[in-house]
Chains A and B, each alone.
Chain A
Amino acid sequence: MRFALDAEQTEFGHTLGRLLSTAEVPATVRSWAAGDFAAGRVLWRRLAAAGVFALAVPEEYAGLGRLPVELAVACEELGRYAVPGPVVETVAGAMLLGALAGHGKAARAAAEEWLPRIADGRAMVTLGAPEAGPYVLDAEAADTALVYDGRRLFAGAGCGPARRSVDPARRLHRPGPGGLLLAVGAAPAAAVRDAGDWAAFATAAQCLGVGLALLERTVEHVRRRTQFGRPIGSFQAVKHRLADVLIDLEFTRPLLYGAAVALAAGAPTAGAEVAAAKAAAGEAVYRAARAALQLHGAIGYTQELDLSLWLGKARALRGAWGAPGRCRARALAGLV
């Protein structure tokens, strides 16, 4: 047993961290939220060049195979830096296209068309499915929207106007009519369910990163902010709240990697492991966001402070791809 990242996986995370720390992501997020996707697309290509999206693409389509451990590392870092765009949906969409490639001509053609371009960052894909709710994330920015209506899977579906999310960088659209029919019946049903697990998994990893970013920023704030003649971080009420945030996040990590191992093995318990990780991650990130806001005080309650980029995301990701109650029910049914 070796339940730890190897040196290469650790270094991959550091590489992404270095890339993102100098990429001026907050400005990119703000322009993305305003509907200007240019800077976001540039960042996307750079992340693809570092290998992020190839982790979800099979080798026969110019990818690196399906590597959940590396995906967790990547999505955690992307969450930590609040990278905008349909990251989770592109990962899950790639999984879906890969899984369906053997099911008919249209699905194969879609895999051939999109997968190599997902791997090298030319294509940004989004995914809509009943388990993700009625909206499709960033459909306007994406090159294609894969939409499953419960029976049929379409590519290139249209979309309605953008609706605002609590995270301004998440632009939500109702799927419109049209698109190319890729598959119908049992095959897409199973493949979409599996893709939903990958989406929940990637979301959980993002949650972990978002939570860590919130914690880091709040620790910095309470070390510097002085009241009553001393840093507020010296008060026990403040310390204990942040200690609890760290505990939640640290005990989310093993669940996330437990799910990664189960996904890599195609284990029958993978869905339950993913659900456990998503439930814990959603709880942890939300608790981190509540603590971050409270301990920043009024300055935290402004959109101007960059903290807001993570605060809104925490709330949105908690419900995305697996609401807490549903995840708990799945975990309870499948874990023990």
Chain B
Amino acid sequence: MDLELSRGDAEFRDEAREWLAARVPREPLPSLETQAGFAAHREWERTLAADRWSVVAWPPEYGGRGASLLRWLLFEEEYYAAGAPGRVSQNGIGLLAPALMEFGTAEQCARLLPPMARGEVVWAQAWSEPEAGSDLAALRSTATRTTGGWLLHGQKTWSSRAAFADRAFGLFRLRSPKQPSGAGAAPHRGLVYLMFPLDAPEVTVRPLGRLDGKPAFAELFLDGVFVPDADVIGVPGEGWRVAMSTTGNERGLTLRSPGRFTATATRLAALWRARAADGDGPGCGPRWDGAADGALRDRVADAVIRARAYRLYGYAAASRAAGGTPGAAASLTKVFWSELDIALHEAALDLLGACGELADEAAEAPAHGGWAAGHTFALAGPIYAGTNEIQRDIIAERLLGLPKGRRT
């Protein structure tokens, strides 16, 4: 057992580090949740893609480097350590692409993946509905057969990135003119996974302000938008299977890589040292004896230890033959990283005391308001990608073998 990088892996890491050092913007990009910021992030995806850094784990023909899980983990460590921008294409890369690679046709992969890798087409996720959240299979939006394709009707919500994205992918209930509602069928049956444009006249996008007011997600109203057969993924009627095969990607290591939290933990430790050694920084209230605050030190230490645990967990996953965190094991990961993210940010905000509430991006705000913004973002973690309650049900039933509850 060892943690040493092979020469090839070390060279890969060094190449990524050097590239990022040269290319990462010195000033943070404007917020992803604005028109200008979205455009700037899209441009950054193009920069990444130009040197094949946007999708390192993909096959070369689609713009990747065919990197192993270990190399992807190393890239992510370097990426977040360098303070590089958030990834506007995350939904497409992390969720849609795995579905295409597993269930899509060669034509779909060749047509859709390269523009995704270059940030030319940014994808939004259209899964949840007003009456179908944790109980996703209760979704009611429909796909009705028409010549050469499908017509979509209904409403989607909490659609991440949809305010500014180009296209969306989602699950719909098959509806034939003879069987108007599909009522009576098992809820997981009769679904179709497909892709549709957000700029079609039959689609209305209503941005929703998230907790900090920024339009990070949106409601979608669909009124007969046409989807050609070429944009159906897998077999119509088996959409649930296609969607569930990728939820491991959504929840597990590949949605929130250990590198993210390693970088945050490093910043937290630096903040702790500065505060514990020097007392309060300018403008942060009365002097405080950080070194003597054992309770806060314990929380900082716990968060740092857990970030280390997640990093090593990633290496262990990369060392297993199959790699990744498929299926139910991804639920363990999802609960762990989402709670870790909150713990890291909570500790930082408590270290900042009265200045912790500054969410402003002004220079005088600690880390340009990064800790406050990061905390707000972290608060969503236990909710999205399947709430942590659903994940704990999955862990209990599929990993521990406990009996199914009333839910099903």
Query: Which residues of A does B touch, CB under 8 Å?
Result: 1-6, 9, 69, 215, 219, 222-223, 230-231, 233-236, 238-240, 242-244, 246-247, 250-255, 257-258, 260-261, 264, 276, 279-280, 324-325, 328-329, 331-332, 335-336
Instruction: Give chain B interface residues in 1-20, CB to chain A under 8 Å.
Output: 1-6, 9
B397 CB-CB contact with A under 8 Å: yes
Known contacts A5-B1, A240-B389, A261-B3, A234 near B404 by CB under 8 Å: yes
Nearest A-chain residue to B265, judged by Cβ: A336
Other-chain residue from B315, B396, B406 in contact with A240 (beta carbon distance below 8 A): B396
Q: Taking the complex as formed, is B297 at the interface, i.e. its CB lies under 8 A from any CB of chain A? A: yes
Q: Is the CB of A331 within 8 A of B403?
A: no
Question: For B305, what are the chain A residues with a Cβ–Cβ distance below 8 Å?
Answer: 255, 276, 279-280, 328, 331, 335
Give the residues in chain A near B193, CB-CB below 8 Å.
none
- Among B9, B391, B396, the residue within 8 A (CB) of A242 is B396
State whether A236 and B308 are in contact (beta carbons under 8 Å apart), knowing that A1-B2, A261-B1, A336-B269 are contacts in the complex: no
Q: Which among B297, B302, B393 is the interface contact of A239 at CB below 8 angstroms?
A: B393
- Tell me if B400 is interfacial: C-beta within 8 Å of chain A: yes
**Is B401's beta carbon under 8 Å from chain A?**
yes
Chain B nearest CB, measured from A230 CB (Å): 8
Binding site secondary structure of chain B: helix
Known contacts A1-B319, A236-B405, A244-B392: A335-B308 contact under CB 8 Å: yes
- On chain B, the residues within 8 Å of A231 by CB distance are 402-403
Q: Which residues of B contact A6 (CB under 8 A)?
A: 1
Within 8 Å of chain A (Cβ to Cβ): is B200?
A: no
Residues of B within 8 A of A243 (CB): 335, 391-393, 395-396, 399-400
A243 to chain B, nearest CB (A): 4
Q: A239-B392, A240-B389, A336-B265 are in contact. Are A257 and B302 (CB under 8 A)?
A: no
Given A242-B396, A257-B1, 16 more pairs with CB closer than 8 A: A3-B319, A6-B1, A234-B402, A243-B396, A243-B399, A246-B399, A246-B400, A251-B313, A254-B316, A255-B309, A257-B312, A257-B316, A280-B309, A328-B305, A331-B305, A335-B305
Q: Is the CB of A223 within 8 A of B401?
A: yes
- The answer on a CB contact under 8 Å between B309 and A2 is no
Chain B 287-318, CB within 8 Å of chain A: the 1/0 string?
00000001001101110111011101101101
Interface residues of B (CB under 8 A from A): 1-6, 9, 70, 265-266, 269, 272, 294, 297-298, 300-302, 304-306, 308-310, 312-313, 315-316, 318-320, 332, 335-336, 389, 391-393, 395-397, 399-406
How far apart are B163's CB and chain A's nearest CB, in angstroms? 34
Residues in B whose Cβ lies below 8 Å from that of A253: 316
Question: Are the CB atoms of A236 and B332 closer together than 8 Å?
Answer: no
Ordered nearest first, which 9 A-B pairs have the shortest CB separation? Answer: A239-B396, A254-B312, A328-B301, A336-B269, A243-B395, A243-B392, A332-B301, A4-B319, A233-B402
